[in-house]
Structure 1
Amino acid sequence: MLRKFLFFMVVFATTGTGFSHENHPVSKVIERIKSRGVSYPFRFAFIGDSRKSFRPGDPDADSIFMIHLRVLEELNPVFVIHGGDFCMRGYRSEYEHFLSMIDSFDVNLLPVVGNHELYAPEGPYMFRKIFQSEICPPGGFWNHLKAFFLNPFNVSKGVRRFSDPCDYYFDYGGYRFIFLVDNHQSPKKNPKGGYYVNYYLSEKQIKWLEQKLKEADSLGLFKVVVAHVPPYIPGHNTKHCLGASYYYPKPNYEKSHTKEFTDLLTKYHVSLGLFSHQHLYDRYVYNGVTYIVSGGAGAPLKRPLQGPPRGGSFYHIVLFEADSTGYIKGHIYKLGETEPDTTFDFVVPPPVGTK
């Protein structure tokens, strides 16, 4: 117990020192984005899963990620979304390593948290402290301390620890971008070290998401929703997703609220759902919503869900061009290329009912 207390004190006391503020916290990045002004079509990019492999001999993830960053600097989007999994386990040293790369990056970057950021004891706290210190509801020292020891957790109602990452959003250029946390550190310890991860959106998160989508409708905004783990898509994406039979809490299809999630995206005519977690590229339209999976930023590649032009297994960047009427063009840039592979070009039309 004393060792755990001392560990917590070291993390709490040292986190936030020694870092520059180039691409964190996200509140400052969003301020920079909004101060840039809007020129249509505006560009934003999506990448995900830049973590290192656990297997020796796999391609070097850092080298791949840095190549992507240099290409993105040349493409010069207004911002880049990172879909999560930039750590292996979520230790402080891994967060520091990621910061050393993105703080030398001249394009605005906004992350969501992936499961690999959450296995280490300090993982959730590190993400929140570095990236979300100014946007998450305040917790305070004693709340962090209480959470660290007692680990209060209620999956069904969405009671989360004060140190957990939180959902956030911002509006730009007539679009609302919503970032969700759909993987959470479990209170159950892994015998190999660290903690397990649960995959779900809580009832509280579903209610918050509907509120933000409804509000976006009232403001006439187009909508983009981002999370790390893709939802269950019947007949297409049923493994390594919210609702997968082997994910916790079980039964995951019900407890993850994956159906409620996709139903909301359809109900409120969301233009894009952006996800990572699966190490591949995939584009699929389900109930009127375009779902993109991009996990090609450096982690070892996996077998694709479908072939070109809607899928593949290769390292890549997804670049979007969004206009004022809701049309979004998508382009795929393979590793090191400054011109898109036009085989994969696509268009997301404005949602039905918009002008």
Structure 2
Amino acid sequence: MVALHSNTMRHPFLLLAGLPLLVIAARAASDRPLSPLPIPGEMVMASPADPGRFTFVVGGDNRSVARDVPPPPTAAQIFAETRLLRPAFALWTGDSIYGSDDTPGEAAHEYAGFLRLAATGDTPVFNAPGNHEIFRRPELERVYESCMGRLYGSFDYGRSHFIALDTEEADRAPGVGPAQLEWLRKDLEANRGAEHIFVFSHHPLFPTPDHPRAGFASAANRDEVHRLFVRYHVTAVFSGHEHLYYASVHDGVRYIVTGGGGAPSDGAPQDGGFQHYLLVSVDGNAVKIQVLQPWRLFEKVGPVQPDGSCTAMVMNYGHDPLSVLVAFPTDQLGAGATATASWTYKGGTHPVPAEIVAPLHPGETDVRVMARQGRGTLVVLTPATK
């Protein structure tokens, strides 16, 4: 057993970590490269303009309550808000389907539904399999690989390294088996020069004290994995399985349980049992993690007017300002087009910065704007003056 020095938190929080800046060395490509899920349609994972500055979303545990029961609407709303937030990508911590006692055909049908849902986020998504996907059934493991891709692997984005672990190996209880553990050790060593290392999995290493059996089946296995995370200065580990929010710090490594995608709650709201997802902002050696509740961020884009102008309203009912990307359905504006934004409350109007940025898709004009918390932000797109 390793000595575990921890701090814990059950409630929404803002984490700003000023970590020691690592020397960035050349890193070998992963021998198990993890690709985004095969989402329908054209999904582009663009390189960051600044390799040390980007955002990503983390969510998971959106499965339904029973076989042949539709999934809850939470994930659909999370992906709708993801489309507005436009992060570089999203990490999903498993239980994307009910699975379990499904036939292989039923599981494949559920995966197709989840992939269609994920496509609405207009963002690449990476998934780590959950117990509902695998259920200790080798045939469901094969279905997962066929429909979703690798069971575990890693990828780089900017100066950061991301690792998906499979804690649901079909031939063993929850944890990380010997072969995967050896791969993890080599992958961490090969990427020790990364500015940040983020890990995501389904079963947490450190679940809530109220649910100690929700973690790894073997404490020795958990501690071996944890020692690797400590040795290689892992920035954060995101997990699901428990349908709640819970954060803890063990020997300097941040562990976050984020199972708020709509599956039945495992706790009262005051104990973290609320629907949520995370927005993670990387800015050099600083990492900020925001806990967002769905159904707090909306947009309404109006039609293109005869003069070529267009307006949109972004409604942010959360408690933090959020940078969003509004996609206007026109690209016929001319080189001198402008975008302005403002929020109005009780008779006072306040301007906020708005910037036209490179569009993600043909036929649209994208505007990046900071949506004021607790307000509606009006965005106005005006064509060039002829």
Determine if the TM-score, normalized by the shorter chain, exceeds 0.5: yes
Displacement of 1:341 in angstroms is 5.3
- 1:316 corresponds, among 268, 273, 276, to 276
Change (3 A) 1:129 1:55: closer
The answer for the alignment partner of 1:200 in structure 2 is 175
Alignment of 1:145-294 (within 5 A): 165-186=150-171, 198-217=173-192, 219-232=193-206, 238-243=212-217, 252-254=218-220, 257-294=221-258
Is residue 329 of structure 1 aligned with residue 342 of structure 2?
no
Q: Deviations over 1:182-237 (max 9, x none)?
A: 11224xxxxxxxxxx731211222221121111111x3431111111001469686
| 2:54 equivalent in structure 1 | 42
Tell me what 1:92 maps to: 108
- Aligned amino acid, residue 184 of structure 1: E
- Paired residue for 1:125? 142
Q: What is the number of equivalent residue pairs in this alignment? A: 261
**Is 1:271–1:289's contact at 8 Å kept on the other side of the alignment?**
yes
Deviation of 1:289 after TM superposition, in Å, equals 0.4
* Amino-acid identity (%): 25
Provide the C-alpha distance between the structure 1 equivalents of 2:196 and 2:163, rounded to a whole number of angstroms.
11
Letter in 1 for 2:219: Y
Per-residue CA deviations over 1:35-63 (Å, capped at 9, x if unaligned) read 4544653110100101011299x9x7431
Structure with more of its chain in helix, by fraction: 1
SS of 2:254 mapped into structure 1: strand
Structure 1 residue aligned with 2:118, among 98, 102, 121? 102
User: Gaps spanning 5+ residues in structure 1: where?
Assistant: 1-21, 133-164, 187-196, 244-251, 344-355
Does residue 68 (structure 1) correspond to residue 42 (structure 2)? The answer is no
What is the alpha-carbon distance in structure 2 between the residues aligned to residue 315 and residue 61 of structure 1?
14
Contact 2:51–2:157 (8 Å) recurs in 1: no
* CA distance in structure 2 between the partners assigned to 1:52 and 1:235 by the alignment: 25
Change (3 A) 1:76 1:34: closer
- Say which SS state the counterpart of residue 94 (structure 1) adopts: helix
Residue by residue over 1:109-129, the C-alpha shift from the partner in whole angstroms, topping out at 9 and shown as x without a partner, is: 111111101136642112212
- Residue 37 (structure 2) pairs with residue 24 (structure 1): yes
Give the Cα separation in 2 of the matches to 1:175 and 1:80.
Answer: 14
Distance 1:77 1:35 in 2: 12
> C-alpha displacement at 1:130, in angstroms?
2.3
Aligned counterparts of 1:121 and 1:208: Cα–Cα separation in 2? 21
Distance 1:236 1:214 in 2: 34
Answer whether contact 2:94 2:129 (CA < 8 A) is retained. yes
Kept in 1, the 8 Å contact 2:154–2:161? The answer is yes
DSSP-derived class of the 2:213 partner: coil
Tell me the SS of whatever aligns to 2:73. Answer: helix
Which amino acid in the other structure matches residue 42 of structure 1? Answer: F
CA contact (8 A) 1:280 1:313 kept: yes
- CA 1:279 to 1:234, structure 2 compared with 1: closer, same or farther past 3 Å? closer
Matched-pair contact (CA < 8 Å) for 1:182–1:228: yes
One-letter amino acid of the structure 2 residue matched with residue 84 of structure 1 = G
- 1:42-101 Cα offsets, whole Å, 9 max, x none, are 110100101011299x9x743111111111111111101010001111622211221221
User: Are the structure 2 counterparts of residues 93 and 68 from structure 1 closer, same or farther at C-alpha, using a change threshold of 3 Å?
Assistant: same
> Aligned pair in 2 of structure 1 residues 55, 211: CA closer, same or farther (>3 Å)?
closer
How large is the Cα RMSD of the aligned pairs? 3.1
Q: Which runs of 5+ in 2 are unaligned?
A: 1-34, 298-315, 321-386
What do residues 123-162 of structure 1 show as CA deviations (whole Å, max 9, x unaligned)? 2112212232xxxxxxxxxxxxxxxxxxxxxxxxxxxxxx
Q: TM-score, normalised by structure 2?
A: 0.61
From the superposition, tell whether residues 331 and 71 of structure 1 become closer, same or farther in structure 2 (CA, over 3 Å): same
Distance 1:342 1:265, change over 3 A: farther
Counterpart residue identity of residue 322, structure 1: V
Corresponding letter in the other structure for 1:213: L
Amino acid at match of 1:105: G
- Larger of the two Rg values belongs to structure: 2
TM-score normalised according to structure 1 size = 0.66
